[in-house]
Amino acid sequence: MEPRPRRSHRRHLVRTRNGTRPPPAAGRTRVPAGDDPKCYALRRTSEDGKQTALRVYNFDSGAKNVTVDLTGTGIDTRQTPKDLYDGGKGPAIKGTKYTVSLPAYGFKILEVRAR
């Protein structure tokens, strides 16, 4: 298979981010991350349904505390997730509102348990 031209790849990423194209081999659901349009969160589930990740993004030039609403996401609201990018443990989830501190243009990818 030939590599995609850069423009085509960018278009694919934008369509995936905007929800107009399903991601390959996995499920995803947007998770509410407040009113700030520069904050984004989603739940990703592996194709076989055995792994679930919460991904939280800060697209702003300044550090932010991003609070996501886990209500109705199927994510267990009493757990300590595993940080899949940095290693170790992520901040504990103790209810339906979950806050993650992110640097400018930062993100967290956390392995979480589904209910």
**Residue 62's pLDDT is what?**
97
Residuewise pLDDT in 10s, the chain (115 residues): 444 455 555 665 566 556 554 445 568 899 999 999 999 999 999 888 889 999 999 999 999 999 999 999 999 999 999 999 989 999 999 999 999 999 999 999 999 999 8
Q: What CA–CA distance (Å, rounded) separates 94 from 29?
A: 21
Q: What CA–CA distance (Å, rounded) separates 31 from 19?
A: 13
Cβ–Cβ under 8 Å, residues 109 and 86: no
Phi, psi of 56, rounded to the nearest 5 degrees: -125, 130
